[in-house]
Structure formats: structure tokens, C-alpha cells
Amino acid sequence: MGLTIRPLEDHDLPASVELMRQADDARLLTVEGVRHGRETRPERDRVLELVAEDDGRIVGGGIGGLNTMTSEPGRGWAFVTVAADRRREGIGALLGERMLDHLRAIGVTKATTFIRQTDEGEQWAVTRGWSRVLAGPLIAVDPRTVEPPGPLPEGFRCVPWKLLEPRDVFEAVREAALDEPSATTNDAIDFDDFARQWDNPMLDLESSAAVLDGDRVVAFAELRAAGERGQHGFTGSLRDYRGRGFATAAKRFALHTAATRGVRRVTTSNAEENAAMRAINRKLGFERIGEHVILARDLT
């Protein structure tokens, strides 16, 4: 039949998810979680998903769309992966060009991509006009080694997200995101987009934690889990509450709870510039297992 580049369909998800896992085994991906993202994604994101199929086998994939979490105009993103035994055949180049054509068509003038660093992968991207703009260690910990948080100051408490509503956590996430090292400014996070993630089957509402000052969320730690695997999402705190151990307490709660729920490995990554969070993760026992890299290129 030969190689075909076509839109991803729902029945492709098991093979597509496995392909992405092989490209970065530190990523937490499930078919159910990816399906939820596809079914709830707003049309304004203008996402295109492609697969490369050869004789009935999915040998590559690509996804890209608008970055709707920033007010910076013309910002988009894309990602391409190819099965390890089918690289150096031009499949990635075909998918990459289709992605860039799509981004240009929807008005993107600068694109970013997020990859697990390998010399082969980064060199492939650099030769096609991409350049490194941000990097940070990829780290992992066995949450069974993490102690629960100690007592908090009077008036403060740590609770799981299952006791909260999305609106309770959103304001803290939005403020903390403004200071998160990023290739673009995260200043346009939409509440409806955040709330949709609340129902993602990968989000562990039992383990994800928030520190409250009275009824106000002042620090938080998101955790996703599937079986024995977990992945930290965003962790942060309000500016006026930083440097007081509240983000550490939220992470300790999340990791300790995840361990009681059967999780045996949690991964995350931090930008080199985020010295405070890197220090917290070292204190909690995270160890380096690789590197994540953000690359960017102009499309004008």
C-alpha cells in the first residue's frame, strides 16, 4: 500500500499513544486521557493531528495548533515523532512539513516544540531551522521515599483537589503561570480550558494538592497517575506566599498520597531558570534521568 499521511482517527489512539510513549517513556499517556483531550479540545485551538501509516502500521505521528495560553500573536506549537525502526526514511520530514503548512495556514508566525532531548532528535530539528530556547532536567522519584508534609502554620491546611472546585485552584494557577519560565508568556490561560482538564481521567484529584489560607488556595501541586506511573504537572504558589514552604508541602502531600495509591514512579521536569523549584525537587529526592528541551523557529 505504501506510506500514507492522513488525519488521526479514534481507532488509531492505542498505536499513537504507544508511539509517543516510546519517544519519551517519562510522559504519562493513556488512551482514555488522550481521547478526553481530543473530545473536549475547543475548535479555537485549531489542532491538526496526523499519522503516517505503512501497510496498516502507524509508524509516525504529528500534532500542532495555536498556543491559546498566551496573548502574544501568532504563537503556535507542533510535535512530530517517528518509530525508532523507521527513522532516516524521510517520514519525519513529511510530517514536519505538513505541520508547518498547517501552522502557517492558521496564522502562526513562531512555533515551538517540546521534546525529550536526544542528540539525534535535536540535530534533526536544528537542521530544519529550529533552535533551542529553553531546557531543563527531566527527573524522577519513587514517591514511597517522600515524607508527608509537616504541620502548617495556624490557619493553613493542605487538602486534595477532590475537595475543591476548578475555580478554587484556577486563580492560583493563573498567577503562578505568569512567572513560569516559558518560551511564551502564559498570560491568557482560559478558565474553561482549565476546568475541562478537571475531568481528564489521568488527573489524580485524590493526590493533587492545595494549601489553603482559610478558604483561599495559595499553593498547589498537580499530579497525574495511571497504575504505578505518575507525572507532576504544574506546581506553584501565589507571589505573596512564596519562600514559606507551601509549594513543598503541596508536593509532599501529592507524592505521599500517590504512593499510598500504588504509584511507584513520578516524573517531572523544570526549566534551568526555575532555581526555586529545582531546589524543592532536589530536597524531595528527585534524580535526573534526562533532559527536556523546548525548540522554536520562525515561520515567516
Domain extents for the chain?
3-137, 140-290
CA distance 66 to 50: 16
What is the pLDDT, as a whole number, of residue 100?
A: 98
- Determine contact, residues 287/140, Cβ cutoff 8 Å: yes
The amino acid at 12: D
31-40 and 13-23 helices cross at what angle (nearest 10)? 110
Q: Within a 10 A sphere around the Cβ of 88, how many other Cβ atoms?
A: 9
What's the Cα-to-Cα distance from 47 to each of 41, 64, 185, 215, 298, rounded to whole Å? 9, 5, 20, 37, 19
pLDDT digits 0-9 by tens, 209-230:
999 999 999 999 999 999 999 9
CATH 3.40.630.30 is right for the domain spanning 3-137 = yes
246-260 and 275-283 helices cross at what angle (nearest 10)? 40
What is the pLDDT, as a whole number, of residue 1?
A: 60
CA distance 226 to 231: 9
User: Is there a common fold for 3-137 and 140-290?
Assistant: yes
Which letter does DSSP use for residue 235 in this model? E
Low-confidence stretches of the chain (pLDDT < 70) are 1
pLDDT digits 0-9 by tens, 7-63:
999 999 999 999 999 999 999 999 999 999 999 999 999 999 999 999 999 999 999
- Superfamily of domain 140-290 in CATH is Gcn5-related N-acetyltransferase (GNAT) (3.40.630.30)
Q: How many helices (H) and strands (E) does the chain have?
A: 8, 12
CA distance 247 to 149: 10
Q: The whole model's pTM is what?
A: 0.94
What's the Cα-to-Cα distance from 216 to each of 148, 155, 170, rounded to whole Å? 21, 11, 11
